[in-house]
Amino acid sequence: MYLKSIEVQGFKSFANKTLFEFHNGITCIVGPNGSGKSNVADAVRWVLGEQSSKQLRGANMQDVIFSGTQNRKPQGYASVAITFDNSDRHLNLDYNEVTVSRRIYRSGESEYRLNGTQCRLKDVTELFYDTGIGKEGYSIIGQGQIDKILSGKPEDRRELFDEAAGIVKFKRRKVAAKKKLESEQANMVRLSDIMSELS
């Protein structure tokens, strides 16, 4: 699996539809200060479900929408689509290419799509569990993040290793199964109360 392209439109400094295509090897994005290099990484974080506007260097989520310049009107929405080559079926979807897209309007309304079909944020998050790519993944290392990792608590650092080892999805499933078990146990208690009332 590898990242094939990122398409942004109306996202931060990218007013026009802009397509980044990636090929084998290393790609560097270079440019003067403030030209929008970090906005490309922000676009990837955002489309993968980032919910914190602070992480995206804004005050609220609508701040990702192109806000206009002296010569250009603001845009009404921001959209980002990233496409992965999935011919090795690393992602659990039976498609050679997987495109995740997200769009947000000034009204606050927003949507996610997987290969063009509207989906929930949860579907996007679950698809990328244990790949290192999700919004919590280690594939995007922001400025200052290495320091944060090194000086962080061991438990926080552990999360990074769990993701790399591919056990996050099992941990989440364990939590969900435990919750279900607790609720079933509560139902059993209730049922036995009713039965003893009836007998």
User: What is the rounded CA–CA span in Å between residue 82 and residue 88?
Assistant: 17
92 annotated as ligand-binding: no
Which positions lie near ligand ATP, rule CB under 6 A?
12-13, 31, 33-39, 63, 65-67
Nearer to ligand ATP, 36 or 152 (CB): 36
Question: Least distance from C-beta 100 to ligand ATP, angstroms?
Answer: 21
Nearer to ligand ATP, 62 or 125 (CB): 62
74 annotated as ligand-binding: no
37 annotated as ligand-binding: yes
Q: CA torsion angle for 50, 122, 14, 59 (degrees, to 10)? A: -40
Nearer to ligand ATP, 57 or 171 (CB): 57
Question: Least distance from C-beta 99 to ligand ATP, angstroms?
Answer: 23
Place of tokens 């200060």: 33
39 annotated as ligand-binding: yes
